[in-house]
Amino acid sequence: MVRYFGDSFKAEDHFSVVMLVGSADVSFGLSVDGALGKQKLKVGKTAEIDGMWQNQGKSTVQSYAEVDVYFSSDLEHPVWSGTLAGVAGPGGSVSGEFVNFNSAASNNGFSERWAPAKAGTYVLKFTLDPENSVAEWDELNNEAAIKVSVEKGAPS
C-alpha cells in the first residue's frame, strides 16, 4: 500500500504494484509458418505438425502449447487438436511434434495425429500456456495462426 499524507495524517488512496522479477516468459519466438515443413497436405494423409516454444524469462517453466485445427468455414469447432509439452529453463526451449495423447480418454474422436478429412483451406491456431497458468511479463506473444491448403487425395 502506498499512503499519501496531505495536510492530515490519514490514508487517502492506495494502489497495488505487481512486479514479476525473475519470472518466466514463454513465447513461440520464431514464426510457426514452418510447422508443416515442406509436406504436401492431402486428404486422408497424416500430417506432422512440428513446433517449438521458448522461455525468454529468468526462471524454469513447465508448460505446453496447443494447436487447434479448424476448417476455414467453421472457426468455432476444431477438427483436431494436439499439444507439445515440456520444461524449459531460462533461455531454453521445447521442440517436437504436436500430438493428441488424450484421444481415447477424452472420447473427442480426434486421432493421435491430424489427417485432413476433406480438401480445402484450414486454419491452425497455436496457443502457448492456454490455461494461463504461467505468470509472464508478456502475455501477448502466446498466440499465432497459419492457413494451409489441403489437396484431394489420390483416387483409390
CATH classification at residue 72: 2.60.40.10
What lies within 8 Å, CB to CB, of 54 at 6+ separation is 26, 27, 28, 29, 88, 91, 92, 93, 94
Give the separation between CA 105 and CA 92, rounded to whole angstroms: 31
Is residue 18 assigned to a domain?
A: no
Residues of the chain above pLDDT 90, percent: 48
pLDDT, position 22: 57
Give the separation between CA 99 and CA 70, rounded to whole angstroms: 16
pLDDT, position 36: 84
pLDDT, position 108: 66
Burial class (CB in 10 A: 0-12, 13-18, 19+), 113: middle
pTM of the predicted model as reported, rounded to 2 decimal places: 0.78
Is residue 10 assigned to a domain?
A: no
C-alpha torsion angle, residues 53, 55, 60, 62 (rounded to 10): -30
pLDDT, position 72: 95
Is residue 101 assigned to a domain?
A: yes
Is residue 4 assigned to a domain?
A: no
Is residue 6 assigned to a domain?
A: no
Is residue 40 assigned to a domain?
A: yes
Assign 3-state DSSP to the chain and report helix, strand, coil percentages, each to 5.
Answer: 5, 35, 60
Residues of the chain predicted below pLDDT 50:
1-5, 14-21, 107
Residue-averaged pLDDT of the chain: 81
Which tens digits make up the pLDDT trace of 68-104?
999 999 999 999 999 999 999 999 999 999 998 775 5
pLDDT, position 19: 42
pLDDT, position 136: 83
Is residue 15 assigned to a domain?
A: no
How many structural domains is the chain composed of? 1
End-to-end CA distance of the chain: 72
Domain that holds residue 122: 26-150
Backbone CA torsion sign across 77, 81, 84, 85: positive
